[in-house]
Amino acid sequence: MLVFSQESLFWLTGYDSGGFVYFQCALVTADDRPMVLLTRRPDLLQARMTSTIEDIRIWWDADDANPAADLKEILAEHGLQGKRIAIELNTHGLTGWNLWRCQQTFGQWCQLENDDHLIRKLRVRKSPAEIEIMREAGRICDRSLERVIAAARPGILDSDLKAEYLASILGDGADMPPNAPLFNSGERAVFGRGVATARRLLENDQILVEYPVPYKHYNVKTEWLIVLGKLKDEQRRMYDVARETLARMTDLARPGTTLGEIFDCYANHLDAAGFAASRYGATGYSVGISYAPTSMDVPPMIYSGNATVCEPGMTLFYHVMNGVQDNGLAMGVGHTLLVTEGKPEILTYLPDDLTVIT
């Protein structure tokens, strides 16, 4: 198997690096031969010191460099000509250009096959050691949300809250997040993604907050809405619907329930409340080890018809996000949970009621 995912390499060996943004690949054979890593020179010492990999090969930068050719030489050393070789495809560690170079270089020399998320599927259920790491990430996340809420007030930039979040988690021992947080205020609160350029908060305003907290590269996430000034009746209703929906979805996170059934709970409740046009087509996903550019460790995602069954050890981020373009009002609540043998364990807690700062 050709392993291009940095998350896979970290999980398998402890290797921790950003070199995956170039061409970086490990060969894992079906027998007990040691793993071989092909990477660039800046990652050599890091690979030696952070991982269990002993056989590390280097490809050198040049105008005519083709690391796929170096990789083919490694495969030839292992007698893999004409063999079936799985390749990790759904990863930011394998760009289209690098896949093209592999395909052009290998040709018919061997048979590349879709890995079908093999290692990612093995990572969905967390070990007791991984769960402890994620619990610590959750504690860091809880403290950061308290600080963000305490700092929110009219007159500051919404980016000041983003700075508060970063200072809190980094000062608490977390890693740099794998993706930019979402601190969308005003009319931008209805967006489902973060946007550039800071905005100054007004006397009557809304701030939708969603962000990851990684500890030892294991991510948890939270989502919350902060209201400044007078709370509109419709926004209170949106919150009540969202919080009730999140509670019902959470109770379903038990062994035997499918992710599709959890999505149906979300969709049915929002549709019944009149929000069919503004709800999303997915309402959460697996979280765990993540490197840039995303904290979503998918698949699996929670969407209609997903037959993936909840099992103890799975860690999921649930969120109920609802942005209504017509009235400009937003709502978002979300937390990370652990599926257990019984009632799910909440890893990131939320305030008891909607935050309204007057």
Asked whether the bond before 255 is cis by omega within 30 degrees of 0, the reply is no
**What CATH number is associated with residue 77?**
3.40.350.10
pLDDT at residue 191, rounded to an integer: 92
Looking at the fold, whether 106 and 212 belong to one and the same domain comes out as no
Looking at the fold, whether 99 and 239 belong to one and the same domain comes out as no
Give the domain-ending residue among 58, 91, 122: 122
- In this prediction, residues 15-22 reach a mean pLDDT of 95
Looking at the fold, whether 245 and 294 belong to one and the same domain comes out as yes
- In this prediction, residues 279-290 reach a mean pLDDT of 96
- Cβ atoms within 10 Å of 40's Cβ, excluding its own: 17
Q: Answer whether 110's CB lies under 8 Å from 27's CB.
A: no
Looking at the fold, whether 263 and 166 belong to one and the same domain comes out as yes
Looking at the fold, whether 115 and 7 belong to one and the same domain comes out as yes
Looking at the fold, whether 227 and 134 belong to one and the same domain comes out as yes
Range of the domain at 192: 124-357
pLDDT at residue 325, rounded to an integer: 86
SS3 8: helix
pTM above 0.85?
A: yes
Give me the number of domains the chain comprises: 2
Give just the sign of the alpha carbon dihedral 77, 78, 83, 84.
negative
Looking at the fold, whether 232 and 285 belong to one and the same domain comes out as yes
For the residues of 245-259, what is the DSSP string, one character each?
A: HHHHHHHT-STT-BH
**Which phi-psi region, left, alpha or beta, contains residue 117 (left: φ > 0; alpha: ψ -120 to 50)?**
left
Give the domain-ending residue among 122, 151, 177: 122
For the residues of 139-152, what is the DSSP string, one character each?
A: HHHHHHHHHHHHH-
- In this prediction, residues 329-342 reach a mean pLDDT of 97
pLDDT tens-digit map of 188-207: 999 988 999 999 999 999 99
> Pairing between strand 84-87 and 111-114?
parallel
Looking at the fold, whether 231 and 353 belong to one and the same domain comes out as yes
Single-letter amino acid code for the residue at 334: G
Confidence class of residue 217 from pLDDT cuts 50, 70 and 90? very high
**What CATH number is associated with residue 229?**
3.90.230.10
Looking at the fold, whether 162 and 53 belong to one and the same domain comes out as no
Across-strand partners of 337?
A: 316, 346
- In this prediction, residues 7-35 reach a mean pLDDT of 96
Report the distance separating Cα 6 and Cα 20, nearest Å. 6
Looking at the fold, whether 102 and 132 belong to one and the same domain comes out as no
pLDDT tens-digit map of 250-264: 999 999 999 999 999
Across-strand partners of 228?
A: 205, 357
Looking at the fold, whether 113 and 180 belong to one and the same domain comes out as no
Give the domain-ending residue among 102, 122, 142: 122
SS3 32: coil
Mean pLDDT taken over the chain: 97
